[in-house]
Homo-oligomer: A and B are copies of this chain.
Amino acid sequence: MYRLLVADDHPLFREAMVAVIARGLSGSETLEAASLGAALEVVAQHDDLDLALLDLGLPDAEGLSGLAQLRQAVPWLPVVIVSAEQHKHTILEALNLGAVGYIPKSTPRDTLLVALQQILAGQVYLPPDIMRTGTPPASTASPPEHHPLASLTDKQREVLAHMVKGESNKMIAYRLDIAETTVKTHVSAILRKLRVSSRVQAILLASERDDGSR
């Protein structure tokens, strides 16, 4: 049913996770990686993955840099962080980097399954503690998840419309009669909101959605 990647350097935990998935998501296939490097290789060769479970604290990845690299390499792949650490700051950082969820290692098996299903369904999973404590992550967490494109401001949408036509920042600036730096600001905001890392990906995503054009 689904194809998942479990990236964790602890063999036992990896196996446990795989077992949970096998039992809870029957028919799903799991790939494993013991390091970030291995994970990057795996994702490079499998473009049909549905989700990656990434452990924080892989030997070859400093903290969230592993997430950053993974997102960078394959922006289309949803990544959920699996970690022992539970600092609110780290979790928000991860979301900012494009993670679609954060699962504490202490999560009981059945809750874990619910979390995975929720994430595979396109939702975001966060540890209940965080959800409860009055934390309105606002900018990156709640709204964008469901309406990536809808969350753009008018001006951003306008800039995106020009990007889609293949125009450069400089040309967009000229047409909209604003400074190129301003265009860059908008573009950066767009990329962040759409969770992609290059204008090309933003364009593909945009023209894939709205597409009333042909």
Contacts and interface: CB of A to CB of B under 8 A. Distances in A.
A200 B73 contact: no
A44 B201 contact: no
Contacts of A44: 171, 174-175
Given A44-B171, A174-B44, A166 B73 contact: no
Q: Looking at chain A's contact residues, is the secondary structure mostly helix, strand, loop, or mixed?
A: helix
A168 interface: yes
A198 interface: yes
A159 to B, nearest CB: 14
Interface residues of A, number: 19
A138 interface: no
A163 B75 CA distance: 14
Interface of A: 44, 73, 75-76, 163-166, 168, 171, 174-175, 196, 198-201, 203-204
Given A166-B198, A166-B200, 4 more contacts: A44-B175, A163-B200, A168-B198, A199-B200
20 contacts: A44-B171, A44-B174, A44-B175, A73-B171, A75-B166, A76-B166, A163-B200, A164-B204, A165-B204, A166-B196, A166-B198, A166-B200, A166-B201, A166-B204, A168-B198, A199-B200, A200-B200, A200-B203, A203-B203, A203-B204
